[in-house]
C-alpha cells in the first residue's frame, strides 16, 4: 500500500515558523507519512525587497527541516527557473519520486475556491488529493458547500483542517531585516544566522549597517549609531544626500583599530572592496572624516561634524560646540577644527598638516562668502 504524501509549495522567502507549524499540523491531522516542501521560482522584480535566490531559500529549508524525519524538500520548481503550474509539479513528483504513493496538495481556503480555474484543473482534481488549511474567521459552511459542489462534478478528494492563525509573514520579516529590527522567534535561529551570513534582503544601507554591527565593539557601534542619526539630520539641514550620509556614517569607523588617522582610508578601501562602492563622495567622506582636507565636499563636512558632535560624545565643551551647527556649514566645520587644533596644541601634541590645510581652505571659503548650506 502506498504512502500518503503532502506537498506544500510556496516562495519560502524566507521560511518561517508559520510554514513549519502549518506543515506539521496538517501532516498530523491528515495522517500523512511525509510533507514535501517545494520552494517556487520567484520573480526577482516582483517585490520592493528583492527575493533571495533559489539556492539560498533551498538552503534555509534544509537548515530548518532537513533533519525532520517527516519532511522532505524538492527543488523541482527552482530548476525550471520560471513560473510552474501545480499540475505539472505534482505530475513530475508522482512520476519521478512517488509513483506508488498518493499525493495531496496543501493549500489555503482562498486558493481552493479558485481551483476550477487553475491550469489543467480537471486533470489536477482527478489525479491528486487536496488538504485545505482553514484559518479562524473563514466561513466553514461555505467551504463545505464548495467541496460538496465540486465532488458532484469531479472525483474530488478533499478535506479541510483547522489551522492556527499566526501573524507571521515573509514580507514583514524581510522588511524588519532591512530596517535592522529583530526577527528572533519568527523563524529558526539557523535561518537567521544564514540570512546574516549571506546579507540577504538588505540594500547597501542595510549591508553596511550590519557589517558595522558585527565588526565593531559595542561601545564603538553605539558611537556609530549616533553619527548616523546626526549625519542624516545634518544632511537634510544642509542639503546633502541623506542616503549617502547614512552609508558613509555606518562605515566610517569599521577599521578603527587601524589607527587614529589611518582608519578612515582603510574603511573607504574596504567599502569599495566588499560592496563595490565607487562613489568618490561617499569614499572621501569616510577617508577624511578625521583630518578633513582642502576642497571638502558638503557630504565630507556633514560626516566630520556628525563624528565630532553626535549625542554620545562627552568631552569638555561639546555642548557649546553643538551650537555651531546653527551656523552655515563652512563656519561650523571651521570652528570645530580650530577648536580641535587649539586643544591638541595645548597638550603639546602635533596637529596633522592636512587638517591645517583644511582650516586655511575653510577660512578662505568663509571670507569669499562660500558658505554652503546657509
Q: Cell digits for 15?
A: 521560511
Residue 73 DSSP one-character state: E
Neighbour count for residue 295 (Cβ, 10 Å): 11
Distance CA(372)–CA(355), nearest Å, equals 19
- Asked whether the domain spanning 204-367 has the same topology as the one spanning 4-197, the reply is no
Distance CA(124)–CA(117), nearest Å, equals 11
Whether residue 286 contacts residue 252, with contact meaning beta carbons closer than 8 Å, is answered with yes
From the number of C-beta atoms within 10 Å of its C-beta (0-12, 13-18, 19+), residue 39 rates as buried
Peptide bond into 14 cis (omega under 30): yes
Distance CA(84)–CA(39), nearest Å, equals 11
Give whole-number Cα distances, 184 to 128, 180, 181, 214, in Å: 37, 12, 9, 17
Tens digits of pLDDT across the chain (374 residues) = 699 999 999 999 999 999 999 999 999 999 999 999 999 998 666 566 778 999 999 999 999 998 899 999 999 999 987 888 999 999 999 999 999 999 999 999 999 999 999 999 999 999 999 999 998 888 999 999 999 999 999 999 999 999 887 889 999 999 999 999 999 999 999 999 999 999 999 999 999 999 999 999 999 999 999 999 999 999 999 999 999 999 999 999 999 886 678 999 999 999 999 999 999 999 999 999 999 999 999 999 999 999 999 999 998 889 999 999 999 999 999 999 999 999 889 999 889 999 999 999 999 999 998 544 44
pLDDT computed for residue 45 by the predictor = 60
**Residue 284, SS3 per DSSP:** helix
pLDDT computed for residue 66 by the predictor = 83
Distance CA(226)–CA(108), nearest Å, equals 46
Q: State the DSSP H helix or E strand holding residue 234, giving kind and residue range, or none if neither.
A: helix 218-238
Q: What is the pTM of this model?
A: 0.85
DSSP-based helix, strand, coil % in the chain, nearest 5: 55, 10, 35
- The superfamily in CATH containing domain 4-197 is HUPs (3.40.50.620)
Q: How far separated are the first and last CA of the chain, in Å rounded?
A: 82
Distance CA(350)–CA(276), nearest Å, equals 35
Look-up of cell digits 476550477? 116
Instruction: Look at residues 261, 305, 298, 258 and name the one whose alpha carbon lies nearest to residue 281.
Output: 298
Q: Domain extents for the chain?
A: 4-197, 204-367
- The superfamily in CATH containing domain 204-367 is Hypothetical protein af1432 (1.10.3210.10)
Instruction: Look at residues 92, 156, 93, 104 and name the one whose alpha carbon lies nearest to residue 131.
Output: 104
Q: Cell digits for 175?
A: 522588511
Amino acid at each position: 500500500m502506498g504512502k500518503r504524501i503532502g506537498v506544500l509549495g510556496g516562495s519560502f522567502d524566507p521560511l518561517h515558523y508559520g510554514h513549519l507549524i502549518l506543515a506539521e499540523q496538517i501532516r498530523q491531522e491528515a495522517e500523512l507519512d511525509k510533507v514535501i516542501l517545494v520552494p517556487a521560482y520567484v520573480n526577482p522584480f516582483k517585490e520592493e525587497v528583492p527575493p533571495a535566490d533559489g539556492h539560498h531559500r533551498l538552503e534555509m529549508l534544509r537548515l530548518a527541516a532537513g533533519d525532520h524525519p517527516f519532511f522532505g524538500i524538492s527543488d523541482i520548481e527552482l530548476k525550471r527557473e520560471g513560473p510552474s503550474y501545480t499540475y505539472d509539479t505534482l505530475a513530475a513528483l508522482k512520476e519521478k519520486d512517488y509513483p506508488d504513493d498518493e499525493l495531496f496538495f496543501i493549500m489555503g481556503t482562498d486558493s481552493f475556491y479558485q481551483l476550477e480555474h487553475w491550469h489543467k484543473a480537471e486533470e489536477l482534481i482527478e489525479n491528486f488529493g487536496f488538504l485545505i488549511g482553514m484559518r479562524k474567521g473563514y466561513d466553514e459552511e461555505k467551504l463545505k458547500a464548495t467541496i460538496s459542489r465540486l465532488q458532484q462534478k469531479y472525483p474530488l478528494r478533499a478535506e479541510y483542517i483547522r489551522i492556527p492563525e499566526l501573524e507571521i509573514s515573509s514580507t514583514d520579516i524581510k522588511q524588519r531585516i532591512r530596517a535592522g529590527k529583530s526577527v528572533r522567534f519568527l523563524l529558526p535561529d539557523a535561518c537567521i544566522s544564514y540570512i546574516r551570513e549571506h546579507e540577504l534582503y538588505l540594500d547597501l544601507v542595510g549591508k553596511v549597517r550590519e557589517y558595522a554591527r558585527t565588526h565593531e565593539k559595542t561601545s564603538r557601534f553605539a558611537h556609530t549609531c549616533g553619527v548616523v542619526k546626526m549625519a542624516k539630520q545634518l544632511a537634510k539641514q544642509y542639503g546633502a544626500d541623506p542616503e549617502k550620509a547614512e552609508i558613509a556614517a555606518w562605515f566610517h569607523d569599521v577599521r578603527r583599530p587601524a589607527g587614529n588617522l589611518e582608519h578612515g582610508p582603510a574603511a573607504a578601501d574596504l567599502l569599495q572592496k566588499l560592496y563595490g562602492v565607487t562613489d568618490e563622495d561617499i569614499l572621501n567622506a569616510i577617508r577624511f572624516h578625521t583630518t578633513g582636507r582642502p576642497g571638502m565636499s558638503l557630504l565630507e563636512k556633514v560626516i566630520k561634524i556628525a563624528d565630532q558632535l553626535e549625542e554620545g560624545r562627552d568631552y569638555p565643551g561639546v555642548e557649546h560646540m553643538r551650537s555651531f551647527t546653527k551656523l552655515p556649514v563652512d563656519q561650523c566645520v571651521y570652528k570645530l577644527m580650530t577648536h580641535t587644533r587649539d586643544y591638541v596644541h595645548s597638550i603639546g601634541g602635533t596637529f596633522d598638516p592636512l587638517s591645517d590645510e583644511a582650516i586655511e581652505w575653510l577660512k578662505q571659503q568663509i571670507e569669499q562668502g562660500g558658505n554652503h548650506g546657509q
